[in-house]
Structure 1
Amino acid sequence: MNREAASARRMERLPRFNDMENLTMYDRRNWTRIVQDIELTLRQCPSLVPSIGVLHFQDGRQQRLIVLRGTVPIFFRRTQYNVPMDVWLPAAYPMEPPVLYVTPTRQMFIVPGHRHVDRSGRVYMPGLLTWNTNESRLHFILAEVSSIFSTRPPVYMFPSTATASTRVASREALPPPSRAQEAVSCPRSDSAMEQTMNQRRATLRQRILERARTRFATEFGQMTCLQREIEQETQVIAQLHSDQDGSGSERSRDVLGEEAASLMCERTRVRSDLETIRETVRALDEWIVSHGDLERDPDIETILESTDVHSRTLSEARATDAAIHDAQQLLDDMLRRERLEIDVFLRLVRELAHRQFFVRRVLRRLDGNA
């Protein structure tokens, strides 16, 4: 009875068929698949609400489509947050993948440079690129969205000076960036904050100066030794030249003259190189002074980020495969401890295995192209 009542409530939230009949862009043969996918999605993510909306395309076109509006839960740093999203079903669905948008509120902003979300909030991920009409499902895409966004959220809250009680009451909203979050969660006086920032600036400036000096100290030493050797050889040749003047050997004087001229040109070139290096060091010192407001070290995730789509997709697919494997082991453990019913266990294992099949197929294709 409880399952029937829950199913009835979910069906009440689906768009009315009278409204769907007005949407001529949907093929009647796909209605059953569309309703089935929406129902499975609402079971997995009950915070979404289906409705009829107007989607504005980049070329200026508008179209009335089914949209699931609401939030998708993620788990970031062992805490659940809700990401506001719109999930649109295109007119050719399920032949075409759904269109996902992150819709931040006024208190949120989209993380710039996110690998899966552009500035407009459009979501891009492997599951959408490898969409298959018969095998892909809408709730699989939302599960992938939750998994990827749990690693790196697409939106953050704007930093504020809210009290601790306000922060505890609004834990469902996404956190501000890490630096701002640390500053809010650990209040300090203005003088202490300013002193800490000055220490960080001084440490960073000293670190950059030491690296620059270490880098160019070797080159300065090599240039100085080379110039000293050239001057010594020039003096020897000049001495030989003066000795040959007394012997009357015209040929020897010509050879020595050419060698002396060559060494003089080499000394001029070395001096020019030394001056160029001095100018470079002077320019680096000016850059360090002008950029002394740097406050933090480079982001490790940004440094180690993949530079091409193939490597990024391959690493994400491997991470998804490992996560599915861990989830299967957790389900086995829960079944042994009798904390999970057998029918629920079988359904979850079947969904995970289905998802793992497509992930490993993507891995096999990517490994074959590597």
Structure 2
Amino acid sequence: MAPPPPPLGPASPGAQYAQQFLSTVLSQRGPLALPYTEDVKWLIRQHLVALAESFPSLHPKASAFTHNDGRTVNLLQAEGTIPIVYQGAVYNIPAVIWLLEPYPRSPPAVFLTPTRDMVVKPGHPHVDRSGSVLVPYLRSWVFPSSNLVDLVRSLSHLFGLDPPLYTRQNPNKSTAATRSARLSMLCMATWRVYGERGRRRWRGCSVPRRS
């Protein structure tokens, strides 16, 4: 029989939602039951509630996870953003933490979920091209002491030292800005050489008229 969860102090709204949500989904039986063993469900609940308390930007959910062999199973996840501090500024790294079937005896799976204007930094020491994350805390996961709060703290620290995502430059904006700058330079050069007649020759010019 699983031991009762330890008493919790006053919880934030996010942690209260996590408690209610997890109490519901972890108590389901039959076809809707999540694939975690009964003796660790209380610890899973504790880990996710503590995570919601410490990192309100990460929210517990239940969603379908597809394994490499094609199997699909309904699992718990924490989805949202991991805050980091880089060069004195705060950034948010989109991520999802999947609690696989053996959790918490085995580590979770962590993936970055970059938005459309973000890309994974090539050659990052902790993130591969697909967004899969592997850090020392995951490699040295020890049951039952390892937990999600310490994992995210480790991720926040490491990503603050070397951010794994960067903003993709919009080629259209870059090209338009370059074209505009070149046109302005051409207009100015033409105006200086040909004066007002040159200005009329280049309709795109907006250099000032001579007084």
1:17 to 16, 20, 23: 23
Q: Which residue of 1 aligns with 2:186?
A: none
1:122 to 129, 132, 145: 132
CA contact (8 A) 1:42 1:48 kept: yes
Sort the Cα spacing of 1:42 and 1:189 in 2 relative to 1 into closer, same or farther, 3 A: same
Q: Quick check: 1:103 aligned with 2:133?
A: no
Distance in 2, matches of 1:145 and 1:9, equals 21
TM-superposed CA distance for 1:24, in Å, is 4.1
- The number of residue pairs the alignment matches comes to 168
Q: Which residue of 2 aligns with 1:325?
A: none
TM-superposed CA distance for 1:126, in Å, is 0.5
CA contact (8 A) 2:76 2:99 kept: yes
SS at match of 1:104: coil
Distance in 1, matches of 2:97 and 2:14, equals 20
TM-superposed CA distance for 1:97, in Å, is 0.3
SS at match of 1:128: helix
CA contact (8 A) 1:23 1:65 kept: no
Q: How does 1:1-370 map to 2 (within 5 A)?
A: 4=10, 6-7=11-12, 9-14=14-19, 15-20=21-26, 21=28, 22-160=32-170, 189-190=181-182
TM-superposed CA distance for 1:23, in Å, is 2.7
Distance in 2, matches of 1:157 and 1:61, equals 33
Distance in 2, matches of 1:124 and 1:45, equals 20
SS at match of 1:38: helix
SS at match of 1:72: strand
TM-superposed CA distance for 1:106, in Å, is 0.7
What residue identity is the alignment partner of 2:18? R
What residue identity is the alignment partner of 1:83? I
Distance in 2, matches of 1:30 and 1:93, equals 8
Higher relative contact order (CA 8 A, sep 6+): 2
Unpaired runs of 5+ residues, structure 1, are: 164-179, 192-370
Q: Which residue of 2 aligns with 1:227?
A: none
TM-superposed CA distance for 1:17, in Å, is 3.0
Q: Which residue of 1 aligns with 2:200?
A: none
Identical amino acids, percent of aligned pairs: 31
Distance in 1, matches of 2:33 and 2:96, equals 19
Q: C-alpha root-mean-square deviation of aligned residues, in Å? A: 2.7
Distance in 1, matches of 2:34 and 2:112, equals 27
Unpaired runs of 5+ residues, structure 2, are: 1-8, 184-211
SS at match of 2:133: coil
CA contact (8 A) 2:94 2:114 kept: yes
Q: TM-score when scaled to structure 2? A: 0.71
TM-superposed CA distance for 1:13, in Å, is 3.1
What residue identity is the alignment partner of 2:141? W
CA contact (8 A) 2:14 2:52 kept: no
Sort the Cα spacing of 1:107 and 1:9 in 2 relative to 1 into closer, same or farther, 3 A: closer
Distance in 2, matches of 1:16 and 1:42, equals 12
CA contact (8 A) 1:112 1:119 kept: yes
Deviation per CA, 1:271-323: give whole Å up to 9, x if none: xxxxxxxxxxxxxxxxxxxxxxxxxxxxxxxxxxxxxxxxxxxxxxxxxxxxx
TM-superposed CA distance for 1:189, in Å, is 4.1
Sort the Cα spacing of 1:74 and 1:44 in 2 relative to 1 into closer, same or farther, 3 A: same
By percentage of residues, which structure has more strand? Answer: 2
